[in-house]
Chains A and B, each alone.
Chain A
Amino acid sequence: MAVLEESGTGALKAPRAFKSGARRTRCLRAPLWGIILPVLLGAGWELAVQGGLAEGRLVPPPSAIFETLLELARSGELWTHVQATTVRVFAGFFAGALAATVLGAIVGYSFALRRLVDPSLQALRSIPSIAWVPLFILWFGIFETSKVTLIAVGVFFPVYLGVLGAIASVDRKIVEVGNVFRLSPIAIIWRVLLPAILPAYVIALRSGLGLGWMFVVAAEFMGASEGLGYLLVDGQQLGKPQQIVTATLVFAVLGKTSDWLLLTVTAPFLRWQDSFANRTG
């Protein structure tokens, strides 16, 4: 009897231990896996340059990049550039995403407006956004307004398309519940359609944000005295590849951080999902 009982508790404990072990692997080790490859490549290149096997002037080794980064940080220049670029991206992102959400929701809700407005917007979408640059400079001057507008245009279309497409696929039956409760069109959009599309909306915002970072470079290429895009152009003109690589790395960090921020802020609103990612079993 005692033996039976013991084996019984053992059998109960074993899966629990296994489960927590599995969870630890997922939480701690998964990001580490991703770091292995870049660290190996960086270390290899560093050794090659140090050992004299490669020159490393056009492709600077990690130590040179790190040095540039420190230098830029110490002089305070880095913050000026990071701030300038980040402010542009966020201003453009908010303006573009807001306009896209409002228009996408209204056009998605109203059949008449979809016929009236959507074709024009789709036509505008097919203009490569960079082609707006000369016009924006004429309209808004060479300073912030034209840059932020360009970024906003870049953010607008993926978000608009995302909202429009997601609203079209919202279950008619759920919208009908809103009708039974006699909600106004605005209330249907606000209380039914927008919450229903939230998961797709977050994806649309993420791709919008990604394009925002892409367009800030284009905007800063067209003439800026500060910003990470300016660092890129400056590095090219003065022949400082380590500055170019440093700026691109900072872009990567900022892009990834802003994406993570977006996910973190929206996560509490998505807990309701009965989805593959939220599976509890």
Chain B
Amino acid sequence: MLEARQIGRAFPGGTVALDNISLTIAAGEIVSIVGGSGCGKSTLLRLLAGLDRPSWGSVWVDGKELTAPHPSIGVIFQEPRLMPWLTVRQNVGFGLAHLPAVERRARVDAALENVGLLDYGKRWPRELSGGQSQRVSIARALVMQPSVLLLDEPFSALDAFTRVELQEHLLELWSGSKPTLVIVTHDIEEAVALGSRLVVLKPKPGRVATIFDVPLERPRDRVSASFGEEKRRVLAALDHSLLEYRKIAAE
């Protein structure tokens, strides 16, 4: 279980990026965090990853306070962030240096096969497309068998076709070991397609506007009326928070 208790983050210079965010995320859940730019989405994810410390409040993982990156929390960034000097195999095995070579090889093979890139093991990152690179980055996180996977706008740099393909692929991978997924995104369709729960943030400072469940069955049909209805709900929530913000700004 991953829990944020009234966390906030202020940066030097006084900007408050996040204020008073409380979230409880159950094991195996998929949570989409949506919001426009300036809502502190990425800041929130960095706090949940232990890459940054909250200025107030605290983050708890399985009953312990999070103070640094946690072995069972994996992170996938917006960019693949592969090490250009390592081959695809070596990149995937980056976090497995402590394992004996035989076991490492077996796990890297399995992870590469999961993302459909078994034949690409000897390639350099520069020889991959954007979608392939992001798959390698997913394999690098999954090979650690994390119980929580945090994704920071993971598909936003990809074209529309690759994006949908990788979203479906992510769900497929999730249905295996069911790790908790927390996905930060500004793409409403992505949020609805993936999340079993949706957290809508509002800006300046970033706070939770509303949280609601997405009652759609999986696999989800993106062109169905009920899917459209969920998208409208998110849009309405975002609009509402935006209107509210404008009103405050006008006063």
Query: A residues touching B (Cβ–Cβ < 8 Å)?
Result: 173-174, 176-177, 179-182, 191-192, 195-196, 198, 269, 271-274
Given contacts A173-B77, A272-B126, A274-B126, contact A180 B49 (CB under 8 A): yes
Bound-state CA distance A273–B77 (Å) is 22
Chain B residues with CB under 8 A of A269: 85
B86 touches A181 (CB 8 A): no
B124 touches A272 (CB 8 A): yes
Using CB atoms, name the residue of chain B closest to A275: B126
A181 touches B95 (CB 8 A): yes
Q: B79 touches which one: A173, A191, A192, A274 (CB < 8 A)?
A: A173
Using CB atoms, name the residue of chain B closest to A176: B51
A177 touches B81 (CB 8 A): yes
B134 → chain A, closest Cβ, in Å? 14
Q: B69 touches which one: A173, A182, A195 (CB < 8 A)?
A: A182
**B66-92 CB contacts (< 8 Å) to partner A:** 68-69, 71, 74-75, 77, 79, 81, 83-87
The number of chain B residues with a CB under 8 A from chain A is 22
> Does B60 sit at the interface, judged by CB under 8 A?
no
Query: B residues touching A (Cβ–Cβ < 8 Å)?
Result: 49, 51, 68-69, 71, 74-75, 77, 79, 81, 83-87, 94-95, 97, 124-126, 144
Given contacts A195-B85, A196-B85, A198-B85, contact A179 B69 (CB under 8 A): yes
Q: A195-B86, A274-B84 are in contact. List 13 more A-B contacts (CB 8 A).
A: A173-B77, A174-B81, A174-B83, A176-B77, A176-B81, A177-B81, A179-B51, A179-B69, A180-B49, A191-B97, A196-B85, A271-B124, A273-B126
Using CB atoms, name the residue of chain A closest to B70: A182
Chain B residues with CB under 8 A of A180: 49, 51, 69, 74-75
Using CB atoms, name the residue of chain B closest to A273: B84
B51 touches A192 (CB 8 A): no
Bound-state CA distance A174–B81 (Å) is 6
Q: Please list the 9 inter-chain residue pairs (A to B) with the smallest Cβ-Cβ separation, ordered nearest first.
A: A274-B126, A181-B95, A195-B85, A272-B85, A180-B75, A272-B124, A177-B81, A182-B69, A180-B69
